Structure 1
């Protein structure tokens, strides 16, 4: 099935399966592919983020289940608070799934990691479809679900083009400058491998 994803500026990606088949103005692509499903999003299409702190956010952080909010709160837990939980594999796997969902909600399409040591986390991440990229050593900066938390625009994956993987995000901002100012919580949609894996309700 063909799907056209377009932003407020009229930029569009034509997606077939896991791949981008064409990029260009929405008007031209929709005329050339009149049977494609069309999704028009507010804001700007970008290639999505690579979060550089994959290990820290997935193996060294516990993302509480909403049902645990009364006892653990809703914010990610690290350090002594994490150590006190004595998590088993099932809870680590569930935490990793929630962590990935929160990363996707910030326009992340890939996480940079050293090899994941926790098997439950590794299996959970693999099932989500989030891309994992290698890294060497710990990156600078404070680990955050929002790759823009330090106020800097991080590296994006290469620009999307015909034949590239259908992995991108849409942020409800006017341009990249406003995205840097307001942060990745402005994400309205994230697509990974051609699948819409996050949509703001």
Structure 2
């Protein structure tokens, strides 16, 4: 099905922003990008999803390896005892000694689901753990190699791809272009400056290979 994603501002990265813009998606590909009126006129039969804020490329999570192999993502039923943030360091070491395969697989799945809530479509890492490798493949997220310093954990691992101080161009997987895979993120902010200041917390939707995989309620 052909779907048009529209927002007050589209930030393709590597090209000029498009006010009152739209991205048309068919299957897992972007087939058009430009002003809303032009995109809809060219695809009159498309379903239209209207979003607040800005549409950007999906983000790249540099801490993928840490978040999925050295962190525990608590089940909501464990929130009273463990909280709702990834546990790492000594807390993770204490838990890992009592973790069976089922509990570990659940943590990995929850970690991937949380990444989608932050507009993540790509994650860095070479995943050798079978449970992690299988979960990543099933999620549809794209694994990319760790290259250079950005793959080094400089502080506490976090789910927000902006947390290391990267701006939007430094946080996306690549630009939005016609013909590229339809990996999009939507943030409820007015412009790129506000997005750089807020980070990925205001994410309202993530589109992965053309599929809407996260929508904030």
Q: Is 1:88 matched with 2:100?
A: yes
- Residue 159 (structure 2) aligned to one of 122, 136, 145: 145
Instruction: Quote the offset at 1:140 in angstroms.
Output: 4.8
Instruction: Quote the offset at 1:60 in angstroms.
Output: 0.6
User: Hey, what's the Cα distance between the residues in 2 that align with 1:93 and 1:110?
Assistant: 20
Q: Is 1:197 matched with 2:213?
A: yes
- Point out where structure 2 has 5 or more consecutive residues left out of the alignment: 10-19
Instruction: Quote the offset at 1:68 in angstroms.
Output: 1.1
User: Hey, what's the Cα distance between the residues in 2 that align with 1:46 and 1:136?
Assistant: 23
- Residue 196 (structure 2) aligned to one of 169, 177, 180: 180
User: Hey, what's the Cα distance between the residues in 2 that align with 1:97 and 1:40?
Assistant: 29
Match of 2:85 in 1: 75
| Residue-by-residue CA offset, 1:64-90 (whole Å, 9 max, x unaligned) | 000111222212111111111122222
Trace 1:54-133 onto structure 2 (pairs within 5 A). 54-85=64-95, 86=97, 87-113=99-125, 115-133=126-144
- Point out where structure 1 has 5 or more consecutive residues left out of the alignment: none
Size of the aligned set, in residue pairs, is 200
8 Å Cα contact 2:161-2:171 kept in structure 1 = no
- Residue 176 (structure 2) aligned to one of 139, 144, 160: 160
User: Hey, what's the Cα distance between the residues in 1 that align with 2:102 and 2:132?
Assistant: 9
Aligned-pair RMSD on alpha carbons?
A: 1.4
What is the TM-score when the length of structure 2 is the normalising length? Answer: 0.87
Deviates more, 1:179-188 or 1:153-162: 153-162
Q: Is 1:13 matched with 2:27?
A: no
Residue 163 of structure 1 aligns to a residue whose secondary structure is coil
Residue 144 of structure 1 aligns to a residue whose secondary structure is coil
CA separation of 1:117/1:189 partners in 2, compared to 1, >3 Å: closer, same or farther?
same
Instruction: Quote the offset at 1:136 in angstroms.
Output: 4.5
| Residue-by-residue CA offset, 1:121-150 (whole Å, 9 max, x unaligned) | 111111111111011464253321011223
Instruction: Quote the offset at 1:178 in angstroms.
Output: 0.4
Question: Which 4+ stretches in 1 moved above 6 angstroms?
Answer: none
| Residue-by-residue CA offset, 1:149-195 (whole Å, 9 max, x unaligned) | 23331332221111100001011111111011112011111101110
Residue 152 of structure 1 aligns to a residue whose secondary structure is coil
8 Å Cα contact 2:4-2:40 kept in structure 1 = yes
